[in-house]
Amino acid sequence: MTTAADPPEAVSPKLPEELRATLRLVGSVMQAASEPWWIIGSAAVALHGAGSIAVADVDVVLSECDAARISARLGLVQARKSPHPRFRSSALVTWNETPLPVEFMAGFHLHDGGGWAPLKPITRLAIVIDSTVLYAPERQEMQEILTRFGRPKDLERRRLLVATRA
């Protein structure tokens, strides 16, 4: 497991420029974070090297304290809670001034059959993109998260992640 004190893994996967530019902005803004944070979902799968994946947005899981700090810094307003049968967050903020939308999610929970459970990654892999350090769950944990999400698109993302195994 990689921790925040470990040196970043010098990985620079091939990514579309729109995603690269968004990730650079995310990394820059997240330098203000005081607690661990992670990129999850399709962007994390792309960071792990699945170049054929389509990424429509970048999902960032972070602490409530950091969500409040970053929202204030960027002038963002918390989104109204929209009922979703599988996901909820205590704070959800979308940053649209980036090439791809970025969703900051604090207090992220998943309903996976046994009720609502917090989803906070345990592992933290540092990945460098254009001198910008980003964090994602390690490959195995990201596969487990995608399996827990359970939607067809998440299971396809998991398949792509497994297929790119180094």
pTM of this prediction exceeds 0.85: yes
Instruction: Tell me how far apart the alpha carbons of residues 152 and 130 are, in angstroms, rounded to a whole number.
Output: 32
Tens-place pLDDT, residues 18-45: 999 999 999 999 999 999 999 999 999 9
Instruction: Tell me how far apart the alpha carbons of residues 102 and 58 are, in angstroms, rounded to a whole number.
Output: 5
Mean pLDDT estimate for the chain: 89
Q: Cβ–Cβ contacts within 10 Å for residue 53, how many?
A: 20
Helix, coil or strand: residue 123: coil
Q: What CATH topology corresponds to 17-163?
A: Beta Polymerase; domain 2 (3.30.460)
**In the chain, domain spans:** 17-163
